[in-house]
Amino acid sequence: MKEFLEGSHAIAEVIKSCQPGVISAYPITPQTHIVEDLAQMVSSGELKSQFVNVESEHSAASVVLGSSATGVRVYTATSSQGLFLMQEVVFNIAGMRLPVVMTCANRAISAPINIWNDQQDSISLRDAGWFQIYAENNQEAVDFHLIAYRLAEDKRVMLPVMVCMDGFILTHGMEAVDMPEQDKVNKFLPNYKPLYKLDTADPISMGLLADPDYYMETRFAIQETMRESISYLSEISKEFNNVFGRDYKDLLVEEYQVKDAEKVIVAMGSVCGTIKEVVDEQRSKGKKVGLLRIISYRPFPYARVYEALKDVPKVAVLDKSVSLGAYAPIAVEVKSTFFGKKKGPKVISSFVGGLGGRDITLETIYEVFRRLNTKEVNFDFVDLKPELLKEEYGE
């Protein structure tokens, strides 16, 4: 049913429909409204979950780890510093193959402290062994949580999923969303049946010490599962479309006017909405431009990116995060896709923008398309304010 509501409220509603057994979170802007809503639902009796108010994010993640290990569906949400504080637990959850689902309301990383949106937080945890799917708008944010549980709890997968949505832009933005009905959710998402769990009827030890003779195979196994999941995502997308009538294709990328494009921007998250505006406007003027939107960042869809961009002469990657001391994260993946291949763009330029919540406007996108020419840009910031870069310290 179509509703006009704040992103956070929409997320809380869809989580309610998934009926997790245990919810545990620690407040951090801009995730707060999601968790407050869920607390309200538990208090009113609408949602029969155990709600555990913890004393830190490290404990929030640990609580959901323990609950998931006991065989119940769980939920947590965080951003930025909170995600970083839970980092070791995040890796732990993936290593223990527990199907935790988390919302990451993307926010910039301290220092300096900044509560506004960029994607440095989740991207910095890309090695953890979690799926990472990025929503462009609140409809996707809602739908991706249903898909997340379905994917995580699949007996062939059993890996945690992080659904990433841009903080404030999506969490606090009001949009029209077709909210999934409970009977359809029940059809799409079966009850969680754990492959392994703590149970006095059949005791098990979890989290053992693995010496060099045993450790590496566990990493291989997660890598393999990620690789196989590229096809499971298509499978699940088809099931989703059958039940809800929304087609996310392969859940890996979205090609927007890429087919005959001469210039394509690769980007992830809500900024793609802005980019689509510019693409439409430019196309109406006869300019052949397009957008390749990354949906699944982990596993990274190399083959799909290759397919989409192999005939595009000029590609610009617009990262909303930065890997200090090296090239930008998504740009690096896109460049690796084409290395050693016969076909591919002649120019792959890399731009970083929108950090700390600095607005990426239509002008920014025009600027990117303008700078995407025959001279490749290895790495550059966009929308930098040079007047702020006065020398403060020094002799």
Partner 1 sequence: MENSPLFKSGHTACAGCGQAVAARLVIEAAGANTMIANSTGCLEVFSTKYPETAWGVPWIHSLFENSAAVASGIEAALIYLGKKDVTNVIAQGGDGSTGDIGLQAISGMLERGHDILYVCYDNEAYMNTGVQRSGLTPFDTNTTTSPAGALSSGNLRPKKPVPEICAAHGIPYVATASAGFPQDLTRKVKKAISIKGPKYIQIHVPCPLGWRHESNQMLPVAKLAVETGLYPLFEYEFGVITARRQISPKPVEEYLKTQGRFKHLLNNPEEIKKIQDIADNNIKKYNLKLEAQG
Partner 2 sequence: MFGPLNVKPKNSKGDKTGSWRTLSRPDYLHKNCIACKMCLMICPEGCVSGKEKNAFSVDYTFCKGCGLCADICPKKDIVMVSEESKREES
Least CB distance to partner 1 at residue 119 (A): 26
Least CB distance to partner 2 at residue 242 (A): 25
Residue identified by tokens 């832009």 is 169
Establish if 25 lies at the interface with partner 1 (CB under 8 A): no
Read off the tokens for 151.
């994917």
For partner 1, what does the binding mask look like between residues 166 and 205, x meaning CB under 8 A? --------------------------------xxx--xxx
Nearer to partner 2 (CB atom), residue 218 or residue 323? 218
Beta-bridged to residue 24, according to DSSP, are 52
> Of the ranges 16-24, 165-173, 328-336, 344-352, which one interacts with partner 1 (CB under 8 A)?
16-24
Least CB distance to partner 2 at residue 152 (A): 13
Q: Is 259 helix (H, G, I), strand (E, B) or coil?
A: coil
Nearer to partner 1 (CB atom), residue 149 or residue 168? 149
Q: How many CB atoms lie within 10 A of CB 377?
A: 18
What is the size of the binding site for partner 2 (CB under 8 A)? 23
Separation CA 59–CA 85 (nearest Å): 9
Are the CB atoms for 118 and 355 separated by under 8 Å? yes
Contact with partner 2 (CB under 8 A) among 55, 213, 217, 387: 217
Are the CB atoms for 371 and 351 separated by under 8 Å? yes
Least CB distance to partner 1 at residue 63 (A): 4
Establish if 95 lies at the interface with partner 2 (CB under 8 A): yes
Q: How many CB atoms lie within 10 A of CB 209?
A: 6
Q: What string of DSSP letters covers 83-141?
A: HHHTHHHHHHHHHTT---EEEEEE---SSSP--S--SHHHHHTGGGS-EEEE-SSHHHH
Establish if 361 lies at the interface with partner 1 (CB under 8 A): no
The two beta strands, 161-166 and 174-178, are unpaired
Establish if 158 lies at the interface with partner 2 (CB under 8 A): yes
The two beta strands, 263-267 and 314-319, are parallel
DSSP assignment, residue 391?
-
**Which of partner 1, partner 2, none has residue 221 at its interface (CB below 5 to 8 Å by kind)?**
partner 2
> Of the ranges 135-143, 207-215, 277-285, 322-330, which one interacts with partner 1 (CB under 8 A)?
207-215
- Evaluated on CA atoms 359, 361, 367, 368, the torsion sign reads positive
Residues that bind partner 1 (CB under 8 A): 21-22, 24, 48-50, 52-56, 58-59, 62-72, 74, 88-89, 92, 96, 198-200, 203-211, 214
Residues that bind partner 2 (CB under 8 A): 95-97, 155-158, 195-196, 202-206, 208, 210, 214, 217-218, 220-221, 224-225
